[in-house]
Amino acid sequence: MALSCFAAKHLGISLAAISLLVTPATGQDRIPLFEDLWEGRATAAYPSGIPDPAKLRRMFEREPEMLPWAADSEKLINASLEGVSFGRAAKAAAECRATICQIVVTMPLESLGTRDEADIRINTAAFAIVDSLTAKMKKEYSLTIAENKSTGNIGILIYLFDPG
């Protein structure tokens, strides 16, 4: 199940509903919906004007890594991630290319309290990241939050990309 339907409706973020296409996990940190979106096995409805993360992933894969911009951007993102509390055992990975960055954060849902507490903590943390990074990097963003029911992990997928 996707979290934060309120946020999706009122704040314009792209939250993808987990569909029947979610497959069993093969690793603890795997978020099947993200992989299904990337591979074209799942689709989700996004508010008007919010880029589809599957399209952003394809754009990300096509771009070459551009040093030193990519390395500097990854350092900036990692520093921002360190300053945000996602709960215990959270794992984050950031990778940048020529103009686009992909950030994936996973954490156990049970480490975040009740489902309502988790929803608040995840949204607060995710928006702390995107608010900070979009201002510093002059980028737009796409944000997807999904759950892997097999492992009990929550995942946040963020793309930072050029406006326009």
**pLDDT by residue (tens digit) across 86-112?**
766 678 889 999 999 999 888 888 888
Joined together, the tokens standing for residue 9 give: 């409706």
Domain boundaries, the chain: 5-19+27-161
Dist CA 85 CA 110 (whole Å): 14
Dist CA 67 CA 102 (whole Å): 16
DSSP letter at 63 equals S
Dump pLDDT digits (tens) for 33-64: 677 767 766 665 666 677 878 889 889 999 99
When comparing pLDDT for 117 and 98, which is higher? 98
Residue 30: which region, alpha, beta or left (left: phi > 0; alpha: psi -120 to 50)? beta
pLDDT at 20: 21
pLDDT at 59: 92
**Average pLDDT along the chain:** 75
What pLDDT band is residue 29 in, cutting at 50, 70 and 90? low
pLDDT at 88: 65
